[in-house]
Structure formats: C-alpha cells, structure tokens
Amino acid sequence: MGNDLAVSVKGLRKAYGRTVAVESLDLDVRRGEVFALLGPNGAGKTTTVEILEGYRKRDGGEVTVLDHDPAQPTAEWRARVGIVLQGTGEFEELTVGELVHHFAAFYPKPDDPDEVIARVGLSDKAKARTVGLSGGQKRRLDVALGIVGHPELLFLDEPTTGFDPEARREFWQLIRELNAAGTTIMLTTHYLDEAEALAQRVGVIAGGRLVEVAEPSRLGNRQSAPATVSWRTPDGSVESTASDTPTALVTELAARFGGEVPGLTVTRPTLEDVYLRMIGAGS
C-alpha cells in the first residue's frame, strides 16, 4: 500500500453460509481525509468496517489498514487505531474521569484524559458516574474513549445517534478539529447531512458491492443533473420544470414577469435523492 493510503481494500469477500454479505469490494481511504461509508442496513457496510477494524475475518481479498493486515492485529497496530462503536459498554460504577483515565492507560502515547473529556464537552460531568449520563452524554463518552489513544485512524460508527441538533453541530466541529490535526476518519452514518458536512469523499455500498465513490457534491453526477425550477403563476398555482440550462430559464422567466419571478426556486438533486436512487439500483 502506498504511503498516501490509510486503508486499501481489493476484492473483499465475506459470506455467512450461503448469504454473501460483501462481494468483490474495492476501496481506498486516503491518509488525512474524512471518508463516509453509506448504505442501508444489510448492505454489507458493518461487515466491511468490522473487517477493517480487525474484529471479523474475511473470506477473500486483500486488506491493509495503516500498512498492516487487520486479520493479524498486533498490540502496536491496535494502539494506532481508534474505534467508536454504537455502544462501548456499561461501566456504571465508574465516573467519566475514572473511565477515560483507565482507557488512556491502555495506550503507549495517549492524549491527556482531562483534555479529551473537555474536547467532547463532558468537563462538568467528569466526576459523575456513567449510570447517570443521558444518552447523548454517553455517546460523547464513547467518543472520548475512542480518541484518548491519539489514533492515526478513527472509525466512527453512527457517532451522533442520540444527539440533539446543537450537540451534533458541536460534535461536527470536534471531528473537523481531529481531522485538521491529521487524524484520518472513517465514518458510517445514516444522517446524509452529516456525511455531506464532514466527508471529503463518500462511498455508497448496496447489495454487498460498492456502487460509487465520489465527493458528496459529485456523487451520482449531482453537479450536472438537471435542476428543477419552480415559480408561482399569476393565478397563484405553482409551476415547475426540469432544465439542463436553469440560468437561461430563469432569465426567460424574469423577462416574462418584468423582473422579479414570484416564488422562484432552483434546486438540484440532494445527496439524499442520489443516495436513495443508488441503493435502489444496487439492491
């Protein structure tokens, strides 16, 4: 694997009995990027990520993560990888501070546990037992445990589940800061606005195969897809049409209405529109 790749996957295959979960999957994740892997439940997304994390054996293909085969994990390699699962587990009798300090001791070069607690917004809960945390606070704690080892590569599995909108935006800023400091991040999420806000590239997996990898703005040729132009007619109804030349159409409408076009909107397919079309085609 070249030094510019944190993850390299070629021809990955995994089956459970007669059910093929992943088939002939190729995927590269560049060092220093945020990469979002999107896909519906049962598409092979979780299986793929668990193979990359070293938690599941593959049936075929070549996989390297940070220049190492995750099927043969070493303590040194695991110390370079951070993982935030959908739930880390229950440690009800420990406080937030005790738990983060405890996990920090597992790593050769951890970040300062108190600084990590502050970064995830739990400083005021440092002395609180985890049993008393809300769902969103427990999720922040999961993230703290995943990053305290100062990982080169961080896997985030549905990281903002249970967050309110303000907390989600704060967490997004934390991810941007981690990435700006050099951490490569592989994100799985069902929130498409989250993928669009954070990821430099996204990959869509459906039916165990990778359908496409692209920048969010270019996935499924979004940038060149026809735009839908809508406006309000003199009788108050709304008229709309798809156009490959929306600027020309708006100019024509402006001339027709003598300047301002009432109720004018110009939209291209959203990431959600493209994603739903792609998983339908790939399933």
What are the pLDDT digits (tens) for 102-156?
A: 999 999 999 999 999 998 889 999 999 999 988 778 888 988 999 999 999 999 9
3-state secondary structure of 45: helix
List phi, psi (to 5°) of 104: -60, -30
Torsion of CA 3, 50, 216, 67, to 10 degrees: 0
**pLDDT confidence band for 171 (50 / 70 / 90):** confident
Q: What is the pLDDT of residues 59-96, one digit of tens each?
A: 999 999 999 999 999 999 999 999 987 665 667 789 99
> What is the mean pLDDT of the segment spanning 55-59?
95
The Cα 17–Cα 139 span in angstroms is 34
Domain with CATH 3.40.50.300 in the chain: 5-220
pTM above 0.75, yes or no: yes
Amino acid found at 7: V
pLDDT for residue 2:
46
pLDDT for residue 89:
61
The CA-CA-CA angle for residues 145, 158, 142, to 5°, reads 15
275-281 long-range Cβ contacts below 8 angstroms, 24+ apart: 275/38, 275/192, 275/204, 275/219, 275/220, 277/220, 278/204, 278/206, 278/211, 278/212, 278/219, 278/220, 279/39, 279/40, 279/43, 279/204, 279/206, 279/211, 281/206, 281/211
Kind and range of the H or E run holding 46: helix 45-53
At residue 8, does pLDDT exceed 80?
yes
At residue 3, does pLDDT exceed 90?
no
Question: Mean pLDDT, the chain, as a whole number?
Answer: 91
pLDDT for residue 261:
94
DSSP state of 111: P
> What is the CATH code for 5-220?
3.40.50.300
3-state secondary structure of 7: strand
List phi, psi (to 5°) of 62: -115, 135
The Cα 95–Cα 131 span in angstroms is 9
Residue partners of 43: CB distance under 8 A and separation at least 6:
205, 206, 207, 208, 279, 282, 283
The Cα 44–Cα 20 span in angstroms is 9
3-state secondary structure of 133: coil
